[in-house]
């Protein structure tokens, strides 16, 4: 009898302990009841999970054309230090940038942030988030607004800086050979002949990096405006509506070929790269170059004392005046379907800060797209001041040619110099691509 009582007491104690343990466990669990079903949800790590979300690292994929001297990468590194929960991967794609972006657009898988390189509205507009509510929008320069803001007020990209560019020249050499800065194409040819003759061939009148192809395209983009657009009687509407007679285009490639045949271009034009242009310019071996002022900045790595100047693109038609090329320079937008839109906008805001925008503008040697950024352009400041009233036109291909024809100009320019096609065939090829690309949906 005593044994049974003790046994019952032991059982009771065990049962009591079991209930205590069970209650203790239930403190760390939630029970939800649905009809006859009872589901136990473990929430022991709830707090840890919440902390994990707070510490989750987002990755921003940024695609840009180029990152010379790691300028953008350096800004991205500082951004990551200030924002440890955001990882930034900068991808400088190079001359295949347009083709890479076309593929990404076709699959609607774009980078979180990407450079619009002058095409924020026309080419990339439907893929870009509206940035109108960003803090930096009120600081945009009036001259750049038409390039990045449409009639409905959508802001497509952050234009950190803006183009106001033309040809560059070696001021020291022009002074040495008694050559005035040309304002017309005829004067440019006279200057080339004078420099070629007086230097005994030691100085190249115009240096062009044909191997890289894009400098060839720059010649046609620069000089198409005075050939077809800037004069009072122009072809602008015909180029827009598709009625342009492409026989009228032939004089432009003919002028390009003439420069080569007269020895006004460097002999190695088809094998020279951009760095060759910069080095030759820095070594006082070049008088003119069809690049923006960034070439002068690059040339200073070879010769810090180089005296470089910038000039508007010379007029071609009688009675016309010289012009600048303008528009977006380094502009970046946010992919509207990005999973990290807020983080991407934060990076844009970081680039728009005066101290960062200033670095980018001064490196590219162009004015800022933001009003409150004071840019020290050194010797170039006086040139911009002296040409403040010169008309500015957008890049020709951005307005008057369908998407894809930049490559056509570059390739046909190279073929023209190589003797593979004539100026007439250049125009025929342009017309074919113009018609084909206008019909691409």
pLDDT of residue 380: 86
pLDDT of residue 1: 41
Quick one: tokens of 437?
């690309």
pLDDT of residue 164: 87
Q: What angle do CA 223, 69, 98 make, to 5 degrees?
A: 50
pLDDT of residue 69: 87
pLDDT of residue 440: 78
Distances (CA, A) of 6 to 1, 9, 11, 12, 13: 9, 5, 9, 10, 11
Determine whether 128 is exposed, middle or buried from the number of CB atoms within 10 Å of its CB (0-12, 13-18, 19+).
buried
User: pLDDT tens-digit profile of 156-209?
Assistant: 999 999 988 899 999 999 999 999 999 999 999 999 999 999 999 999 999 999
Give pLDDT < 70 ranges for the chain.
1-55, 441
Residue 328 phi, psi (nearest 5) = -65, 145
Domains and CATH numbers, the chain: 57-159+330-365 (3.40.190.10), 164-326+391-438 (3.40.190.10)
Distances (CA, A) of 384 to 26, 245, 249, 311, 397: 76, 36, 31, 9, 24
């Amino acid at each position: 009898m005593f044994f049974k009582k003790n046994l019952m007491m032991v059982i009771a104690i065990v049962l009591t302990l079991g209930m205590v343990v069970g209650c203790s466990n239930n403190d760390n669990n939630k029970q939800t009841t649905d009809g006859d079903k009872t589901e136990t949800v473990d929430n022991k790590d709830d707090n840890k999970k919440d902390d994990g979300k707070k510490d989750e690292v987002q990755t921003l994929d940024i695609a840009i054309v180029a990152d010379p001297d790691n300028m953008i990468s350096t800004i991205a590194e500082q951004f990551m230090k200030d924002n440890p929960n955001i990882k930034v991967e900068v991808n400088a794609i190079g001359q295949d940038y347009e083709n890479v972006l076309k593929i990404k657009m076709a699959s609607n898988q774009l980078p979180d942030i990407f450079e619009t390189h002058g095409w924020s509205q026309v080419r990339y507009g439907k893929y870009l988030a509206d940035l109108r509510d960003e803090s930096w929008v009120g600081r945009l320069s009036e001259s750049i607004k038409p390039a990045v803001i449409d009639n409905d007020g959508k802001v497509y990209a952050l234009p950190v800086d803006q183009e106001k560019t033309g040809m560059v020249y070696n001021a020291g050499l022009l002074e040495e050979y008694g050559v005035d800065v040309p304002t017309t194409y005829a004067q440019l040819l006279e200057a080339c002949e004078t420099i070629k003759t007086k230097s005994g061939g030691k100085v190249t009148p115009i240096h062009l990096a044909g191997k890289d192809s894009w400098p060839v395209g720059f010649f046609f983009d620069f000089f198409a405006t005075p050939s077809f657009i800037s004069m009072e009687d122009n072809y602008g509407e015909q180029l827009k509506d598709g009625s342009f007679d492409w026989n009228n285009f032939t004089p432009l490639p003919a002028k390009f070929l003439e420069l080569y045949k007269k020895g006004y271009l460097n002999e190695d034009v088809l094998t020279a790269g951009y760095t060759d242009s910069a080095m030759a310019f820095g070594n006082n071996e070049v008088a003119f170059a069809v690049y923006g002022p960034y070439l002068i900045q690059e040339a200073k790595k070879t010769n810090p004392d180089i005296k470089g100047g910038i000039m508007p693109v010379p007029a071609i038609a009688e009675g016309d005046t010289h012009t600048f090329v303008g528009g977006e320079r380094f502009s970046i937008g946010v992919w509207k379907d990005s999973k990290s839109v807020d983080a991407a906008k934060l990076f844009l805001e970081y680039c728009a800060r005066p101290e960062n925008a200033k670095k980018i503008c001064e490196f590219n040697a162009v004015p800022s797209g933001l009003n409150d950024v004071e840019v020290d352009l050194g010797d170039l400041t006086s040139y911009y001041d002296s040409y403040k009233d010169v008309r500015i036109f957008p890049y020709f291909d951005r307005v008057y040619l369908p998407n894809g024809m930049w490559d056509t100009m570059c390739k046909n320019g190279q073929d023209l110099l190589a003797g593979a096609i004539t100026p007439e065939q250049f125009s025929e090829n342009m017309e074919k691509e113009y018609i084909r690309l206008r019909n691409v949906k």
